Amino acid sequence: MNMLDALLGSQADGVVRQIGQQFGLDQSQATSAITALLPALAAGLQHNASSSQSGLDALLGALGSGQHQQYVDDIQTLGRPETIDDGNGILGHIFGSKDVSRQVARQASAQSGIGADVLKQMLPILASVLMGALAKGQLGGGGGSPLDLGRGQTQAPQGGGSIFDMLGPLLGGGGSGSGGASIVTDVIGMLGKMMGGR
């Protein structure tokens, strides 16, 4: 569970349990589902933040709002309808299209063995969790917070890490084989085509 530990630290088990209960999955199934989806979310977030200054500014603004930390601080919020609404808004920014979300769910289903319909419902919740973890600056363990970046900078002062460094543990698929890396490549390709067609 390296990927989840990197993202959530000591709260990883609680988040997995909560999401598993919501979708009727045991701990192993929930872990498989989450680790199949997170690389795609991280790839979409990184692509949007790195492709334009406005995308990065929007991410920093969202992280600075303070509202996302609740999803990590209080895992009971993950079962609330407003969390799903917020997560769907985040997904809209990350993927820009429900078609991308559906494709991500299909690929993650093939990797995890969990039904694509379940994974598609799980996506907005995980998007909220990812934003919450980034807002708390828990990725990477370097002590730096994305809120330190501010003012459109992508690099924190010495000793911290950039947002892109913080997403790094997720983009490699958490060391769980090539499945995560394949989803990352496909998501970036899909997002590139969408932006090229605008």
Percent of the residues in the chain that have a pLDDT greater than 70, as a whole number: 70
Q: What CA dihedral angle connects 105, 107, 111 and 117, to 10 degrees?
A: 30
Cα→Cα distances 126→1, 122, 167, 193, 197, Å: 16, 6, 14, 24, 28
Higher pLDDT, 103 or 181: 103
Q: For 64-109, how does the pLDDT look when each residue is reduced to its tens digit (9 = 90+)?
A: 666 788 888 899 999 899 999 999 988 988 888 888 899 999 999 9
Higher pLDDT, 186 or 124: 124
| Total domains present in the chain | 1
Range of the structural domain that residue 104 is part of:
2-196
Distance CA 117, CA 168 (A): 27
Over the Cα atoms of the chain, what is R_g?
15
Question: Which of 186, 83, 179 shows the shortest CA–CA distance to 131?
Answer: 83
Q: For 139-164, how does the pLDDT look when each residue is reduced to its tens digit (9 = 90+)?
A: 444 444 444 444 344 433 333 346 66
Q: Tell me the pLDDT band of 121, cut-offs 50, 70 and 90.
A: very high
Residue 174's pLDDT is: 42
Distance CA 76, CA 14 (A): 10
In the numeric block, which tokens belong to residue 72? 């990590």
HSE at residue 160, side-chain half, CA atoms within 13 A, is: 17
